[in-house]
Amino acid sequence: MYEGAVQELIDELGRLPGVGPKSAQRIAFHILEADPEDMKRLSDAIRAVKERVKFCSICFNVSEQETCAICRDPRRDETVLCVVEESKDVMAVERTRSFRGRYHVLGGSINPIAGIGPDQLHIRELLNRLSDDRIEEIIIATDPNLEGEATATYLARMLKTIGIKVTRLASGLPVGGDLEYADEVTLGRAFEGRRSLIG
Amino acid sequence: MYEGAVQELIDELGRLPGVGPKSAQRIAFHILEADPEDMKRLSDAIRAVKERVKFCSICFNVSEQETCAICRDPRRDETVLCVVEESKDVMAVERTRSFRGRYHVLGGSINPIAGIGPDQLHIRELLNRLSDDRIEEIIIATDPNLEGEATATYLARMLKTIGIKVTRLASGLPVGGDLEYADEVTLGRAFEGRRSLIG
């Protein structure tokens, strides 16, 4: 529709997740009118991420070095491992400041429809870490959805034979939420996982 | 939060219009995992737009040449000029395929709060075109909002002294819409602008 370069940019932007045709056009015109220095920084940032960012050879978190900042940090507890689906989940857990152990990023979840089985995830590498490291507990923090639960179940069964402590993040009512708006599965889980307040 | 390059990319993406922190993170991870060739194309497209795209010296539409494709097209009617706020609006009108005249892009609308007055818009250049060209009608197609209406009124008053035909796009019910959901201003305009069906 537009002449060459503008249309090419709209097309490329439209391929990004969550960017529809209208947003792509809006962003393209913003880029067109923005400060050239700012836009050079954006263009360079895309390039830099592709050139500099790799995955940690131990836990598969994103990293600009051979191993990530968390795996390199000697103050992190080596005995507890939190297993997550994506690097984004590492950040989400880090934001809570309530976990001082280490991570293992699976690179997704078991999803037969999308053709993702255990072999497509970093499960073999997780088993290798268990044989080398002094890990005492594995916290499975996959997403609380169908694929995440299936992955958690798969891992729990596999790890049972190794005789290691395996836990799963609690499901229940979101803090600050409203009981009457909770879906029945979440509310059911909240009942199952109820905790004693007195005695 | 993330290491260097990833966080830089999230920050740059977060400055784009309509991209919040969560979207910025999602897009950054998409870029991280996407095909390097695709992402080089995106990075190059941003650069190309800044380097190659200018504004038409006649109508201020986006163009990769001195004048835009519409101004260069001898088949377009020189006697009718459609005045719009942005290049995006040129495309919106073009998509209707119901206008075969030429355009004039103001580069925005009169907005005292944002400090945009008539001098910040390409109104002087519009007057210059009127003295040179064989223009018989000006269709004011600014947005049907407060700023667009103010701009239309300003232009109409200014052009009245020149003695040229000035029209404004009709306001009314959107086609395919539902009368009961129309706001009262739109519905009021639809009454004012009612057209005779018989006789």
Distance from CA of A105 to the nearest CA of B (A): 14
Q: Is there a contact between B41 and A9 if contact means CB atoms under 8 Å apart?
A: no
Looking at residue A175, its pLDDT comes to 83
Chain A residues 69-108 within an 8 A CB cutoff of chain B: 69, 86-88, 91, 94-95
Which bin fits A87, alpha (ψ -120 to 50), beta or left (φ > 0)?
alpha
Task: Identify which of A52, A50, A51, A69 has the alpha carbon closest to the alpha carbon of residue A61.
Answer: A69
Q: How far is A191 from chain B (nearest CA, A)?
A: 31
Query: Mean pLDDT across the stretch A109-121?
Result: 94
The reported pLDDT for the residue numbered A194 is: 83
Strand partners, A137: A80, A165
**Given pLDDT bands bounded at 50, 70 and 90, which one contains residue B150?**
very high
pLDDT at A180 over 70: yes
Using the Cβ of B26 and the Cβ atoms of chain A, whether some distance falls under 8 Å is answered with yes
DSSP annotation of A5 = H
Q: Is the dihedral of CA A62, A64, A65, A71 positive or negative?
A: negative
CA atoms within 13 A on the CB side of A39: 21
Q: What is the pLDDT of residue A124?
A: 94
State residue A198's pLDDT score. 75
The C-alpha angle with vertex B21 and arms to B12 and A96, in degrees rounded to 5, equals 125
Interfacial A residues in 31-50 facing B (CB < 8 Å): 31-32, 36, 38-50
Q: What is the residue whose two structure tokens read 């959107």?
A: B174
User: What pLDDT sits at residue B149?
Assistant: 92
CATH C-level class of B4-52:
mainly alpha
Whether the per-residue pLDDT at B141 is higher than 80: the answer is yes
Is B49 in contact with A6 (Cβ distance < 8 A)?
Answer: yes
pLDDT above 90: residue B118: yes
A interface mutation test: which of B16, B39, B55 has the most A CBs within 10 A?
B16
Mean per-residue pLDDT, A68-75: 94
Which pLDDT score is estimated for B122?
Answer: 97
Could you tell me how many CB contacts below 8 A there are between chain A and chain B? 152
CA distances from A51 to A45, A55, B73 (A): 10, 12, 44
Give tens-digit pLDDT for A155-177: 999 988 888 899 998 888 888 88
Q: Is B15 on the interface with A (CB under 8 A)?
A: yes
CB contact under 8 A, A43 and B47: yes
Which of A6, A11, A41, A105 has the most B C-beta neighbours within 10 Å, making it the best mutation to test the interface with B? A6
Mean pLDDT within B138-159: 92
In angstroms, rounded to a whole number, what is the distance separating the alpha carbons of residues B56 and A87? 45
- Among B118, B159, B108, B157, CA closest to B136: B159
Nearest to A9 by CA among B35, A18, A23: A23
What is the structure's pLDDT at A133? 65
**Domain A55-168 class in CATH:** alpha beta
* pLDDT over 90 percentage in chain A: 67
* Helix B21-33 with A36-52: angle, nearest 10 deg: 50
Four-point Cα dihedral B21, B32, A100, A159, nearest 10: 130
Any chain A CB within 8 A of the CB of B55? Answer: no
**Residue in A6, A46, A47 nearest the CB of B62:** A6
Taking 80 as the threshold, does the pLDDT of residue B67 lie above it? yes
pLDDT in tens, A2-50: 778 999 999 999 999 999 999 999 999 999 989 999 999 999 999 999 9
DSSP for residue A161: T
**Predicted pLDDT at B176:** 84
Bigger pLDDT: B33 or B122? B122
Domain ranges of chain A: 4-52, 55-168
Cα separation, B14 vs B28, in Å, equals 10
Mean pLDDT of chain B: 91
Q: Residue A24 and residue A74: Cα distance in Å, rounded?
A: 44
Spatial distance between the Cα atoms of A105 and A90, rounded to a whole number of angstroms: 8
Question: Cα distance from A111 to chain B (closest Cα, Å)?
Answer: 18
Confidence of residue B57 (pLDDT cuts 50, 70, 90): very high
From the number of C-beta atoms within 10 Å of its C-beta (0-12, 13-18, 19+), residue A171 rates as: middle
Can you tell me the mean pLDDT for A77-92? 93
The Cα–Cα gap between B147 and B112 comes to 9
Residue pLDDT, tens place only, A123-143: 999 999 998 768 999 999 999
Report whether pLDDT(B133) > 70: no
Contacts of B56 in chain A (CB under 8 A): none
Q: What's the confidence (pLDDT) of residue B7?
A: 92
pLDDT over threshold 90, residue B161: no
* ipTM above threshold 0.90: no
- Report CB contact under 8 Å: A49, B64: no
Q: What is the largest CA-CA distance in chain B?
A: 73
CB A141 within 8 A of CB A164: no
| The most confident of A161-165, A179-183, B40-44, B188-192, by mean pLDDT | B40-44
Q: What is the mean pLDDT of residues A53-78?
A: 94
- For A4, which residue in chain B has the nearest alpha carbon? B64
Structure tokens belonging to residue A27: 């962003």
For residue B58, what pLDDT is reported?
A: 96
Mean pLDDT of chain A: 91
Mean pLDDT score, A65-73:
94
Do residues B99 and B93 make contact, with C-beta atoms less than 8 angstroms apart?
yes
Mean pLDDT along residues A52-64: 93
Q: Give the model's confidence band at A199: pLDDT under 50 very low, under 70 low, under 90 confident, else very high.
A: low
